[in-house]
Amino acid sequence: MQIAKFSRVSRYLVLAVAAALAMFLVAGCTAKEGMPEPEAASDELGLVWEALDAANSNYAAPNPLDREVMIGGAIVRILEMGEIAPYPFLADLGRMRGQIPSSVPDEMADLWWATQIYLAENPDIGPDELAPILVRGMMDSLPGLSSAYFTADQLPEARERMERDVEGSYLGIGASVVAQEGRILLFPFTDSPAEKAGIEQGDSLIAVNGVPVGGATPSEVGEQVRGPEGTKVLLQLERLGEPEPLELEVFRGNIQLDTVSSQLVRGGIGYIRIHKFRDNTGDQVFEALERLKRFDMLALILDVRRNPGGSADAAAEVAAQILPPGGTFRFVEGGDGERREHLIPEYEGRLSLEELPVAVLVDELTVGEAEALAAVLQEAERATVVGVPTFGEGSDYSFVELEDGSALYIPTSSWYTPGGAWVGDRAIQPDRYVEYEEVPSGVGGEQQFNTAYELLDEQLPLFR
């Protein structure tokens, strides 16, 4: 799962804050009037100190955790919330001196004083409200896409959402749920229980089993609609052009999520796009390859552009369609320094594709497991990688729980290509560097696809 992080400007601000705090270590002033009593406020900010220690103990990456940058990330949050200019705030902060609670680590003194200044000027906000915001600031300062903080109330839903994120199917009615201008709209999938029951694109949902959905989020509505296969759910809908609401009974089913699309382009070159790696992606790629082979596919373009990753096992199953089983898909190294081998699995019914020319399309939004697939094919010299350097997400994430039941979501292991490269250092570098550009000529209408097509076309017989 990927979570929006600071903008590039904010990242630079974090580094600037960390550097400024190191510079402003000069003698100076005492605490301002109106600040909370140190020990009382420290107890309620203990979550912040605990989070820093938990991150430091569990974070795993070749590049060590920068605690100063994390502290800077928390201070940036204070600056943003208070709409405070970094200067002279940071200069004043560097000169601040006085008693700090014994429970506050020495390295956190600047953050401690920053919180006290902010709380004194914002008496409506308590330390217990401020602490989670500061922890989120620390998480946002970490490299990568997905580091995050979840409160105890948010954690169960976050866990479930991330599990669903890689599941290849779910039990429900088979419709997208979209919030728009205060309404919940349904968009049924083709041949789904929702479509078969008569739900039309853009129908507005009013109630589920008699319970109004006004004010609910799409996620909450999804939970109401889901249920065991074969059971029914009663939906009340509004439809454009219908004077009265409609009531439809929908029998829930096992809904397969499509992550793969494919087609055969002229000259016998197959094209498979993998949108995301879910549990069923390996099987869907196999089915796509079977279809393309029936139409005499002679070469393959595998497109993992804008692919956010997902299931590492699914990515390894895709590799197993092209590479022999038993080889290394990637190495995974945890905080203990032990490096474990993730092997390419046996895939039952695997097609014989050893001689099939392959090109892989990548871009700056090819992330994580999609990068692992491109890397293993590139290093085995089984594919030519075309596009621009990938994102460079070389870590696997997991939850680290804190004492109050909240949790950090941080990198707890790093992964390496079969050749030993850490993708977080330099991303996957394409064999043929080609930027995306729409063009009027060629087969695909854009330059990256056209380059991959031409590269494969040159390897095939002229008359075919």
Class of domain 260-457: alpha beta
| pLDDT tens by residue, 212-245 | 998 888 888 988 999 999 999 999 999 989 999 9
Picking from 32, 133, 129, 44, the residue whose alpha carbon sits closest to that of residue 81 is: 133
| pLDDT tens by residue, 84-105 | 776 666 666 666 666 777 778 8
Judged by DSSP in three states, 397 sits in strand
Give the confidence band of 6 by pLDDT, cuts at 50, 70, 90. very low
Picking from 151, 411, 373, the residue whose alpha carbon sits closest to that of residue 272 is: 373
Judged by DSSP in three states, 272 sits in strand
Query: What is the mean predicted confidence (pLDDT) over 406-421?
Result: 96
CA distance 450 to 464: 19
For the four alpha carbons of 154, 156, 162 and 164, in that order, the dihedral sign comes to negative
Average pLDDT, rounded, for the chain: 87
Q: Is the domain 169-256 a CATH 3.40.640.10 member?
A: no
The share of the chain scoring above pLDDT 70, in percent, equals 87
CA distance 22 to 110: 10
CA distance 438 to 419: 34
Give the residue range(s) of CATH 3.90.226.10 domains in the chain. 260-457
Strand ranges in 308-418 using DSSP code E only, listed in sequence order:
328-334, 339-343, 358-362, 384-387, 395-401, 407-416
pTM above 0.85, yes or no: no
Query: Does the structure show a pLDDT above 60 at 418?
Result: yes
Q: 335: which 2 tokens?
A: 């905080």
Q: 448: which 2 tokens?
A: 């990256």
Query: What is the mean predicted confidence (pLDDT) over 153-182?
Result: 88
| pLDDT tens by residue, 27-60 | 344 444 545 454 445 567 889 999 999 999 999 8
Asked whether the beta carbons of 321 and 351 are under 8 A apart, the reply is yes
Give the residue range(s) of CATH 2.30.42.10 domains in the chain. 169-256
